[in-house]
Amino acid sequence: MLLHIPQVLTADQVRAIRADLDATDWVDGRQTVGPQGAGVKQNRQLAEGSPLAQHWGTVILQALAQQPLYFSAALPLRTVPPLFNRYEGGEHYGFHVDGSVRGLPGGGTLRTDLSCTLFLAEPDEYDGGELIVNDTYGQHEVKLPAGDLVLYPSSSLHCVSPVTRGARIASFFWLQSMVRDDGRRGMLFELDQTIQRLRGQLGDNPEVVALTSHYHNLLRQWAEL
């Protein structure tokens, strides 16, 4: 499932992040990938654990906590602190699959079930830089307004096309879901969204309550905590 989540950040938040990012130093993006990824990756990133990344990463996670659509689709259990990257001057990231396990600050690991890209530059600020995701339904090109996020399975083959004008700036991170299987997560998401629409039309009538019961019993059966 590939999902567009609009307006995760406000325009004021985007401007504030960009002011900080445009004034900071960047490091070689290959520092955060393995040998295979390093062979196809050309970009720059904020150093992992930098105070700037920590501050704005916390802001992003707090904003996502206010997004019911994100929670419904992702069912997040653990999240890697957001990272930040920059592409310009032909930089790109060739087709790859994200690593299946990521370390967490302070120790521990998580399984990367879902990947997130939060766009921090407007589409007309740069040429190229599309996130291209291959899944069972074909190839999808994603280039969203600043402040919008795309959520997609980490198992997907994907790339970032070369940026030929301007700079593509984004935050990216991974999460482990309470429900490992993407198909089951998708069914729960569709069921939850249907329940929300029916509740808006009918209130909590017996049928809506019954569907809600089924949702939670399925989640209880499939969740890994």
What CA–CA distance (Å, rounded) separates 168 from 122? 8
Cα separation, 182 vs 180, in Å, equals: 6
SS (H, E, C) 58-120: HHHHHHHCCCHHHHHHHCEEEECCCEEEEEECCCEEEEECCCCEEECCCCCEEECCEEEEEEC
SS3 163: strand
Domain of residue 186 covers 182-222
Both 161 and 204 in one domain: the answer is no
- The pLDDT of residue 78 is 97
Q: Which residues contact 53 (CB under 8 A, 6 or more apart)?
A: 46, 47, 81, 82, 83, 84
Q: What is the pLDDT of residue 39?
A: 80
Q: Tokens 């904003």 label which residue?
A: 63
Residue located via tokens 């993006």: 29
148 with 203, same domain: the answer is no
**Would you mind telling me the total number of residues written for the chain in this entry?**
225
Structure tokens that stand for 18 in this block: 């960009």
- Same domain as 204, residue 116: no
Q: Residue 128: give its domain's CATH number.
A: 2.60.120.620
Task: Give me the amino acid identity at 198.
Answer: L
Tell me the C-alpha distance between 175 and 115, whole Å. Answer: 7
Residues near 133 by Cβ (< 8 Å), separated by ≥ 6? 2, 139, 140, 142, 152, 156, 157, 158
- Gap between the Cα atoms of 213 and 201, Å rounded: 18
Residue 51 and residue 81 share a domain: yes
Instruction: Assess whether 168 and 211 both reside in one domain.
Output: no
> Residue 89 above 90 pLDDT?
yes
Segment 124-151, tens digit of pLDDT: 999 999 999 998 888 999 999 999 999 9
Q: Tell me: the pLDDT tens digits for 9-28?
A: 999 999 999 999 999 999 99
Strand partners, 169: 86
Final residue belonging to a domain, choices 177, 198, 214? 177
Reply yes or no on whether the pLDDT at 37 is more than 70: no
**CATH number assigned to the domain comprising residue 191:** 4.10.860
Judgement on whether residues 57 and 124 belong to the same structural domain of the protein: yes
Model confidence at 94, pLDDT cuts 50, 70, 90, reads: very high
In a shared domain, residues 23 and 50: yes
pLDDT tens string 146-168? 999 999 999 999 999 999 999 99
